[in-house]
Amino acid sequence: MEELKKYVSMKDEDHFYHQGAVELLIFNFLLILTILTIWLFKNHRFRFLHETGGAMLYGLVMGLIIRYVTKSPDVESGTVYECEKLKSGPSTLLINITNQVYEYQYKREISHHNVNSHQGNAMLQKMTFDPSIFFNILLPPIIFHAGYSLKKRHFFRNLGSILTYAFLGTAISCIVTGLIMYGFVKAMVHIGQLKQWEFHFTDCLFFGSLMSATDPVTVLAIFHELNVDTDLYTLLFGESVLNDAVAIVLTHSISIYSPKENPNAFDAAAFFQSVGNFLGIFAGSFAMGSSYAVVTALISFMHLTKFTKLCEFPMLETGLFFLLSWSAFLSAEAAGLTGIVAVLFCGVTQAHYTYNNLSPDSKMRTKQLFEFMNFLAENVIFCYMGLALFTFQNHIFNPLFIFGALVAVFVARASNIYPLSFLLNLGRKQKIPRNFQHMMMFSGLRGAIAFALAIRDTASQPRQLMFSTALLLVFFTVWVLGGGTTPMLTWLQIRVGVDPDEDLKAKAASQSASNLDKNTTKAESAWLFRIWYGFDHKYLKPLLTHTGPPLTSTLPEWCSPVARLLTSPSAYGDQLKDGDTVYIIDNDELTENYESSAHIPVPAQDSTGSIQATGKEDIQEGDLGLGGYKLQLQHTAGQPQKNSLA
Amino acid sequence: MEELKKYVSMKDEDHFYHQGAVELLIFNFLLILTILTIWLFKNHRFRFLHETGGAMLYGLVMGLIIRYVTKSPDVESGTVYECEKLKSGPSTLLINITNQVYEYQYKREISHHNVNSHQGNAMLQKMTFDPSIFFNILLPPIIFHAGYSLKKRHFFRNLGSILTYAFLGTAISCIVTGLIMYGFVKAMVHIGQLKQWEFHFTDCLFFGSLMSATDPVTVLAIFHELNVDTDLYTLLFGESVLNDAVAIVLTHSISIYSPKENPNAFDAAAFFQSVGNFLGIFAGSFAMGSSYAVVTALISFMHLTKFTKLCEFPMLETGLFFLLSWSAFLSAEAAGLTGIVAVLFCGVTQAHYTYNNLSPDSKMRTKQLFEFMNFLAENVIFCYMGLALFTFQNHIFNPLFIFGALVAVFVARASNIYPLSFLLNLGRKQKIPRNFQHMMMFSGLRGAIAFALAIRDTASQPRQLMFSTALLLVFFTVWVLGGGTTPMLTWLQIRVGVDPDEDLKAKAASQSASNLDKNTTKAESAWLFRIWYGFDHKYLKPLLTHTGPPLTSTLPEWCSPVARLLTSPSAYGDQLKDGDTVYIIDNDELTENYESSAHIPVPAQDSTGSIQATGKEDIQEGDLGLGGYKLQLQHTAGQPQKNSLA
């Protein structure tokens, strides 16, 4: 007994000292390998394998090694124990084993089917981390970064199309995938491959919604590196960012959709409830995300007497910015909304308002911090996806289902892009050409979001089947479609090496040549957003940032006491440079815009190394060049540039 | 049955969607509060409560709320189930409850004593996170940052004293605390307070070793803000950094020490084995940490033909730097060594070699990244300590033991500082004055490391008693001693507002005045390190960095083919500026040093906002000012400064 106790205590000690270190080390090792590989590839200008593809490949190999090299150490883990006294699974279980109480924590519910020989491999289990880590820690920085680095100018020029693709397109994609999968499932039941489970239409729709989240990170990185046409880039980037949000909320709504009686019959009440859920969750998450950003903007803008402004303390400012943005995500999740949507719009709003209030030091810090976190999180996720193919213990691979999914995903993408592009071209002045449509069709890669949605619930067999299938589709699309991007660009004769500003200038020139178009252009650019911009420029920007005209001049006469209270002293002096900013955003008369901004010393875009560095590194430049310009003004105005050389 | 299944599945869904979000949100909220409070305090120049003290206070309040507001939801969690079939606790338990298999994961072993009413409070349990998160995720950035920001110049000038305090002092502190605690334990057994447990002398030593880890983060922050005498700062900072490493290895060695027979008797063989363990683990961890740094330096230095250097890709460079440094920690842990020691020396080595190879962009990125991570991790840990007082479920508070610990800790600190200072003053040219000794005595705060070591193992009752006591001592020292730092400085008449460079100049002047001292000074500065610096300057620096003379000139004639291969082309042109660098490090003739470097345009230290910003923010400046100078040279030499304004 004494012997045993010592043994147990020694084992525990050992357990404590190395717990988690080996698993983290494996991830670190994979990431280091990935970074070295990217470096090698960048040197050879090798674009067939993106860093995420590489990360996935290394993960795959490591998973294979872990699976077949490590042995299952404890035999007892594989067996199922009966417990008559319990009625349901409590979150914590205390078990008395030979007079020693052990505490066990609830992990998940598994079906009898899954209790196979690999269940007991401790190493495999340790490598399979909690899906909540994905959702709470790895995804938020990626999505936030997407929102924060959105090229606002181009984004808003294409807003109508982006929204159409993202909302309508994703819904179409979800339904088409669901229908095709339902056909395949019926066929599988017919030939006797699926008889033992129930696979409802809602399950098919669920699969459809999770497979509708596209993630063309590889394609976008290549586009960025090659300076592909900005409109195509923006359409694809905008679509993929918003589409993730839509797909997540859709998945959530479908999983809530539970018709009362026959699960296969259509229940109108439940359907409308789901639609209501979708709208409510989306709107709620949007509101949550942007209000956190507004709070951040207000705090960083705060200008109390006797109070040093927060921007005097860059570390506190960066910390607050980071924590409030993350809180937007977490609050939305905690409130039953969708954190991803919240953090996305939080990112957009932060870039729009808070960014202007930050100290030059914090601007750089936040930008670099989020870039870095995005880079790490993305590679960790792709590594993990590679690992999961061999370390996940309950895969169900069904060739027919996989084939069906492959077909469904492509048909769904086609019925999203082509019909919608046709409809959009009816209204668009600047048509989406045929080769852009093909490229968008081709760029329907699946990635982190589809995987994360699939891994969230792998308790039942249908869900396991979906997870395994989704994983394979991610591999296929990232490697095959991702690798084929450069050849595809050449084949479709899409022009590369376009300077975004040159692009604007050229378009402006062509537009000013045919002066008749001007009015059409104006009408075309969404009127709703012109109103919004007017409001934003006149009231929100002055209220939340240092830019924009002073509120005293925009608010009506009778509001002037309030206005004077709310206007920061610096706003009065900022008229000129703000004029330029707003001009660019607010006007579609591009010639004038270009000419009026031509004298601004726009910082030279460094096209040597750093653009290639991460692929996504300076997505912001196009838009934040303006920020850079303002910053320069401030410097020449005498404010010392702190820490930038220290 | 169908009903139940649906219910369970719904519950799961819900579980998945919010898992972890609430707990993370609570931490975020606490950190946001802390940041806002720091901002407020900084505005009012209020130095009685440091940010860490504030974080702890907020944690405490939140813990109180969680404990008394949330209710225990599931009744079943509190009961202990018997399981006759099991012989020991497997890592995973599969339990069949009403035809549904649930998977449970091993959490910890608990004694019967602990199965109290709070066991089942799910919220409390969720807030108690895994100790491995402390060790693998929160501590490494703090320790790395300490190593990375070490003021090398001042550190090496005081190296002998620092090593004495850290090694000998910590050992003294551990033994004295252990002995006093053993006395108290004996007394407690005598009056019948401890009769039911066994509390061996090794347990007391274990407690002594974990309480020997000092963490004067509050004091150092105030010192930094007030520009307290650099020698005192360096002594305290250096001691606390190395002392953590020593205390951790000591704790590890003591926990391994297991005498064969009577646990109270002295077993010479086991003792020497422990000493051997200590030395082996320390040396191994040191080697592990520095070799990772050397690998990083080599990779970032690599200069192959046809290969773009890594510094052209700042994101990859930063990523690699970060991952390799973390891997140093994880590898050491996985190999059974001490990760903290490894990551500390990794930090020192990275600052010494790799930092010189980084691109200007990466220099800034890594510095800011590690600062930020240090800031967050530190505040999370202190928040968590506050929380733990009320959320940890197995506290054992024993007033006598706590009183004993308080006495022991102070006596131990006194028997560390005063006798060793006396001995050191016998050899030191620059004596450690009496008021410095008192201040060092006073700065014996306990913090993150003591807490982390105590929480690692809370299975048995003696360990729970130690944990609760350690936690209270942390609270006491951080609030009382930390808060009393500024009054104490005044009371001890320690001069503040010292400019480190002015300080050097003054000392140099006083030394050159008494020219006789020169030889003594030279002899005094550790001869071992003069040899090391010679070697470092001639061979290691040229091999691993861009600085130092070319190897072709330092290696003997017959090595010249190898030397030419290993020398980077830029090394030839760097002679002049390197001369300055090495002069400062290599020479104690401070007058000449100061004069020779007087013409260098040292970047102005910004003494306005950013110094106050984090308290630790620009510890590096003193030393890395040289790096900044080099950087300036590079800029004027035509290399564009990338991204610094973007």
- At A305, is the secondary structure helix, strand, or coil? coil
Task: List the single residue in A87, A324, A624 with the smallest CB-CB distance to B97.
Answer: A87
Residue B343 neighbours by CB under 8 Å, 6+ apart: B140, B143, B144, B147, B289, B325, B326, B328, B329, B332
Cα separation, A600 vs A620, in Å, equals: 18
Residue with tokens 């939801």: B73
Cβ–Cβ contact A94 with B under 8 A: yes
Local structure of residue B427 (DSSP, 8 states): H
The whole-number pLDDT of residue A643 equals 38
CA-CA distance, B302 to B316, in Å (whole number)?
A: 14
In the predicted model, is pLDDT for residue B118 greater than 90? no
Task: Give domain limits for chain B.
Answer: 142-259+266-498, 529-564
Range among A103-107, A602-606, B579-583, B635-639 rated most confident: A103-107
According to CATH, the topology of domain B142-259+266-498 is: Na+/H+ antiporter like fold (1.20.1530)
Say if the Cβ atoms of A603 and B646 lie within 8 Å.
Answer: yes
Q: In this model, does residue B529 exceed pLDDT 70?
A: no
DSSP assignments along A324-372, one per residue: HHHHHHHHHHHTTS-HHHHHHHHHHHIIIIIHHHS-HHHHHHHHHHHHH
Nearest to A35 among B80, B88, B316 (CB): B316
Question: What residues of A are in contact with residue B58 (Cβ under 8 Å)?
Answer: none
For residue B148, what are its two tokens? 């990375």
Contact in structure between B278 and B250 (CB atoms under 8 Å): yes
- Provide the phi-psi class of B214: left if phi over 0, else alpha when psi is between -120 and 50, else beta: beta
Q: What is the mean pLDDT of residues B248-273?
A: 73
Question: Quick check: helix, strand or coil at residue A257?
Answer: coil
In the structure, what pLDDT confidence band is assigned to residue A259 with cuts at 50, 70 and 90?
low
Chain A residues with CB-CB distance to B94 below 8 A:
77-81, 110, 115, 119
* B4 compared with B556, residue with greater pLDDT: B556
Strands A92-97 and B80-82: parallel
Q: Which two tokens stand for residue A330?
A: 């977490």
The verdict on a CB contact (< 8 Å) between A136 and B24 is yes
Contact B335, B278 (CB under 8 A): no
Q: How far is B557 from chain A (nearest CA, A)?
A: 35
Angle, helix B268-301 to helix B314-334, in steps of 10 degrees? 170
SS3 A214: strand
Rounded mean pLDDT, B491-515 = 64
DSSP structure class, residue B105 = E
Name residues whose C-beta falls within 8 Å of residue B110's C-beta, 6 or more positions apart in sequence. A94, A101, A102, A103, B394, B459
- Predicted confidence (pLDDT) at residue A244 exceeds the cutoff of 90: no
Dump pLDDT digits (tens) for A539-597.
777 777 766 666 666 666 666 666 665 555 554 444 434 433 333 343 333 333 333 33
Query: Average pLDDT for residues B125-139, to the nearest whole number?
Result: 76
pLDDT bin (cut points 50, 70, 90) of residue B541 is confident
> For A275-299, what is the mean pLDDT?
89
Q: Which pLDDT band holds residue A412 (cuts at 50, 70, 90)?
A: very high
Give pairs for B264-269: CB < 8 Å, separation 24+. B264/B200, B264/B201
Task: Name the DSSP letter for residue B134.
Answer: I
Q: Is B188 exposed, middle or buried (0-12, 13-18, 19+ CB in 10 A)?
A: middle
pLDDT tens for each residue of B587-638: 333 333 333 333 333 343 333 333 333 333 333 333 333 333 333 333 333 3
Chain A interface includes B122 (CB < 8 A): yes
DSSP H or E run through B410: helix B399-427
Select from B542, B628, B545, B537 the least CA-distant residue to B583: B537
Answer whether A454's CB lies under 8 Å from A471's CB.
Answer: yes
User: For chains A and B, what is the number of CB pairs under 8 angstroms?
Assistant: 406
Average pLDDT over residues A343-364: 86
Question: Contact B39/A313, CB-based, under 8 Å?
Answer: yes
**What residues of B are in contact with residue A16 (Cβ under 8 Å)?**
131-132, 456-457
- Dihedral sign (CA B590, B591, B592, B593): positive
Residues 403-462 of A with CB under 8 A from B: 456-457, 459-460
Q: What are phi and psi of A23, to 5 degrees?
A: -65, -45
Q: What pLDDT does residue B461 have? A: 80
Residue B343 confidence (pLDDT): 92
Instruction: Give dist(CA B492, CA B434) in Å, integer.
Output: 9
User: Six-digit token pair at A479?
Assistant: 């490697």
pLDDT of A584: 36
Chain A residues with CB under 8 Å of B132 CB are 16, 19-21
Per the model's pLDDT, the better-predicted residue between A496 and A455 turns out to be A455
CA distance A158 to B563: 59
What is the distance in angstroms between the Cα of A266 and the nearest Cα belonging to chain B?
Answer: 19
Lowest-confidence segment of A592-601, B72-81, B100-109 by average pLDDT: A592-601
Higher pLDDT, B47 or B137: B137
- Residue A83 confidence (pLDDT): 62
Q: Is A252 on the interface with B (CB under 8 A)?
A: yes
Give the model's pLDDT for residue A471: 93
Residue A226 pLDDT > 90: no
CA A145 → CA A284, A616, B179, distances in Å? Answer: 21, 10, 55
Query: What is the sign of the dihedral through the CA atoms of B52, B54, B56 and B62?
Result: negative
Torsion of CA B562, B563, B566, B572, to 10 degrees: -150
Q: What is the pLDDT of residues A67-83, one digit of tens each?
A: 888 765 544 445 666 66
| pLDDT at site B615 | 36
Q: Regarding predicted confidence, which is higher, A69 or B121? A: A69
pTM of the model: 0.78
Query: Which ipTM score applies to this complex?
Result: 0.77
Q: How does A543-552 read in b/e, with b if 16+ C-beta sit within 10 Å?
A: bbbbbbbbbb
Share of chain B above pLDDT 90, in %: 15
Give the separation between CA A545 and CA A540, rounded to whole angstroms: 8
For residues B638 and A631, give the distance between their C-alpha atoms in angstroms, rounded to a whole number: 22
Positive or negative, the CA dihedral B488, B492, B496, B499 is negative
B213, B446 Cβ separation under 8 angstroms: yes
Q: Using the CB atoms, write b or e for B10-21: b if 16+ within 10 Å.
A: eebeeebbbbbb
pLDDT level of residue A177 (50, 70, 90 thresholds):
very high
Write down the mean pLDDT value for chain A: 73
Of B132, B336, B617, the CB nearest to A20: B132
Would you give the distance in Å from CA A571 to the centre of its chain? 34
Rounded distance between C-alpha atoms, residue B630 and residue B627, angstroms: 5
Cα A492 from chain centre: 28
* pLDDT cut 70: percent of chain A above it: 64
Q: Write out residues 126-185 of A within 8 Å (CB-CB) of B.
A: 130-133, 135-136
pLDDT at residue B6, as a whole number: 39
Which residues are B105's β-sheet partners?
A105, B92
Task: Spell out where A186-226 has E strands.
Answer: none
Q: What is the mean pLDDT of residues B259-276?
A: 70
Q: Would you state the pLDDT for residue B475?
A: 92
Give the CA-trace dihedral at B592, B594, B598, B602, to 10 degrees. 150
Band (pLDDT 50/70/90 cuts) for residue A409 is very high
Residue A446 DSSP code: B
376-395 in chain A: CB under 8 A from chain B: 376
The string of pLDDT tens digits covering residues B172-221 is 999 999 999 999 888 888 887 776 567 788 888 899 999 999 888 878 88
Q: What pLDDT is stored for residue B109 in this prediction?
A: 63
Query: Cα angle vertex B368, ends B362, B369, to 5°?
Result: 85
Q: Regarding predicted confidence, which is higher, A494 or B616?
A: A494
Contact state of B13 with A371 under an 8 Å Cβ cutoff? no
Contact in structure between A90 and B76 (CB atoms under 8 Å): yes
Q: Are A42 and B154 in contact (CB under 8 A)?
A: no
Of A101, A136, A313, the CB nearest to B110: A101
> Which one-letter DSSP state was computed for residue A82?
E
Determine the pLDDT at residue A501: 60
Longest dimension (CA), chain A: 95
Report residue A92's pLDDT band, with 50, 70 and 90 as the boundaries: low
Per-residue pLDDT, B496 = 75
Helices A21-43 and B314-334: crossing angle, nearest 10°?
A: 150
Spatial separation of the C-alpha atoms in residues A461 and B509, rounded to whole Å: 81
Higher pLDDT, A460 or B643: A460
Neighbours of A267 (CB within 10 A): 16
Paired residues of B93 in beta bridges: B104
Q: B175 is written with which tokens?
A: 């033994």
At residue B575, the pLDDT reads 40
Q: How many CB atoms lie within 10 A of CB A370?
A: 24
Closest residue on chain A to B19 (Cα): A132
Rounded-to-integer distance, Cα B204 and Cα B207, Å = 5
A150 vs B385, residue with greater confidence: B385
Interface of A with B in 581-610 (CB under 8 A): 603, 606, 608-610
Say yes or no for a CB contact (<8 Å) between B97 and A83. Answer: yes
The confidence band for A45, taking pLDDT boundaries of 50, 70 and 90, is confident
The mean pLDDT value of chain B amounts to 73
Separation of alpha carbons A537 and A555, rounded Å: 12
Q: Mean pLDDT, to the nearest integer, of B263-284?
A: 79
